[in-house]
C-alpha cells in the first residue's frame, strides 16, 4: 500500500494547493483501470498520470536545459545536448526518484504490485515526470524548476561534457531499462572519395531501427544512437529515419564522438 501523500509532500519540499494533482501524478494506469467499470477507459484516463507525465517531460527538459546553459555558458550545443540526454534519461530519472522514495508512494495495480512495479525504472521515471507536471500545473514553471534543481543538485554539479556518457551507451542503458537487448550497428552504405568519406549506419534493436550519417563509422553510429533515443522518447521506435548531413547535426555527432573517445564504453 502506498504511504501518506502528506508525508510525500514533506519529502518533496513542496505543498500542493490542489492535492488531487499529486494524487493523480502517482497513479499508474494499472491502478486506474482496476478502479473503473469494464470499458470505462475515459474515466480511467482521468485518474491515471500519463497526461501529467507528458507535460512533465517537457517541463523537465526545459528546466534541465536552462540550468545546463547557466552552468556551462561556453559549452557547445552538442555538449549541452549530450549532458541533457543523460540527465533526462530513464536511468537517471529512476535514480533520482529513489532519493525521494517515490516507489513507496505510487499507486499501482495488483499485477504491477506482484511483479515489483514500484521498483521498475520505467515506471519510476514516468511517475517522476508526472510529479513535475503536477507541480507545474499547481504553481507554474518557477516552482517546478526549483524542484528539479533541488532534486538534481548533485547531478548538475557532476555534469560535464567529458563525464556524460555518449549516445551509444545511453541508448544501451535506455533499452536495458525496458528489458530489451542492446542494439546492433551495421554499415549500410559508404559514399564519397577517401578524403570525404560518408558512412550510413543503421542502429537496430528489438522494436525498431534508425539510420545516421557521419564522416566516420563511429560518428555515424553516434548519430544513429541519438536518433534512436529520440524515437524511443516519442514512443515510435518502429519508424526508420534517414538522417541528412546538415552541418548543425554533423557538429553534434562530432562532439559526441569526441566525448566518447574519453569515456569508458559499456
Per-residue pLDDT tens digits for 154-169: 999 988 876 666 788 8
pLDDT of residue 197: 85
Let me know if 138 is a catalytic residue: no
What gap in Å lies between CA 198 and CA 201, rounded to an integer? 10
Which residue is catalytic, options 79, 112, 126, 129? 129
Give, in order, the Cα–Cα distances in Å from 212 to each of 106, 249, 250: 38, 10, 10
Q: What is the mean pLDDT of residues 27-46?
A: 78
**Cβ neighbours of 142 (radius 10 Å):** 10
Residue 245: count of CB within 10 angstroms of its CB: 15
More confident of the two residues 240 and 192: 192
Geometric angle at alpha carbon 63, from 61 and 67, rounded to 5°: 115
pLDDT tens for 101-138 read: 999 999 989 888 888 888 888 899 999 999 999 999 99
Query: What b/e sequence results for 186-224 when a residue is b if at least 16 CB atoms lie within 10 Å of its CB, and e otherwise?
Result: eeeeeeeeeeeeebbbbbbbeebbbbbbbbeebbbbbbb
> Which domains are delineated in the chain?
5-158 (1.10.1520.10), 167-261 (3.30.160.20)
| 129 in active site | yes
Beta strands in the chain (DSSP E): 184-191, 198-205, 208-214
- Give the global pTM: 0.67
Confidence of residue 12 (pLDDT cuts 50, 70, 90): very high
Angle between helices 77-87 and 247-261 (to 10 degrees): 60
> What length is written for the chain?
266
Select which of 53, 57, 126, 231 is catalytic: 57
Residue 16, pLDDT > 90, answer yes
Contact between 36 and 19 under an 8 Å Cβ cutoff? The reply is no
Rounded Cα–Cα distance for residues 46 and 43 (Å): 5
Amino acid at each position: 500500500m502506498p504511504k501518506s501523500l502528506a508525508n510525500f509532500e514533506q519529502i518533496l519540499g513542496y505543498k500542493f494547493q490542489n492535492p488531487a494533482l499529486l494524487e493523480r501524478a502517482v497513479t499508474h494506469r494499472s491502478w486506474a483501470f482496476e478502479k473503473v467499470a469494464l470499458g470505462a477507459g475515459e474515466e480511467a484516463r482521468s485518474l491515471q498520470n500519463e497526461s501529467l507525465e507528458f507535460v512533465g517531460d517537457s517541463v523537465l527538459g526545459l528546466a534541465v536545459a536552462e540550468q545546463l546553459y547557466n552552468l556551462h555558458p561556453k559549452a557547445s550545443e552538442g555538449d549541452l545536448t549530450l549532458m541533457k540526454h543523460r540527465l533526462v534519461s530513464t536511468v537517471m530519472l529512476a535514480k533520482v526518484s529513489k532519493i525521494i522514495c517515490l516507489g513507496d508512494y505510487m499507486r499501482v495495480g495488483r499485477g504491477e504490485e506482484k511483479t515489483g512495479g514500484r521498483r521498475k525504472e520505467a515506471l519510476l521515471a514516468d511517475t517522476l515526470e508526472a510529479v513535475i507536471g503536477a507541480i507545474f500545473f499547481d504553481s507554474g514553471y518557477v516552482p517546478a524548476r526549483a524542484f528539479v534543481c533541488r532534486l538534481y543538485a548533485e547531478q548538475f554539479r557532476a555534469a560535464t561534457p567529458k563525464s556524460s556518457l555518449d549516445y551509444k551507451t545511453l541508448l544501451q542503458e535506455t533499452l536495458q531499462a525496458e528489458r530489451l537487448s542492446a542494439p546492433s550497428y551495421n554499415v549500410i552504405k559508404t559514399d564519397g572519395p577517401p578524403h570525404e568519406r560518408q558512412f550510413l549506419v543503421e542502429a537496430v534493436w528489438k522494436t525498431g531501427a534508425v539510420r545516421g550519417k557521419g564522416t566516420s563509422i563511429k560518428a555515424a553510429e553516434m548519430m544513429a544512437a541519438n536518433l534512436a533515443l529520440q524515437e524511443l522518447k516519442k514512443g515510435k521506435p518502429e519508424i526508420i529515419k534517414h538522417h541528412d548531413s546538415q552541418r548543425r547535426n554533423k557538429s553534434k555527432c562530432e562532439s559526441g564522438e569526441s566525448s566518447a573517445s574519453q569515456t569508458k564504453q559499456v
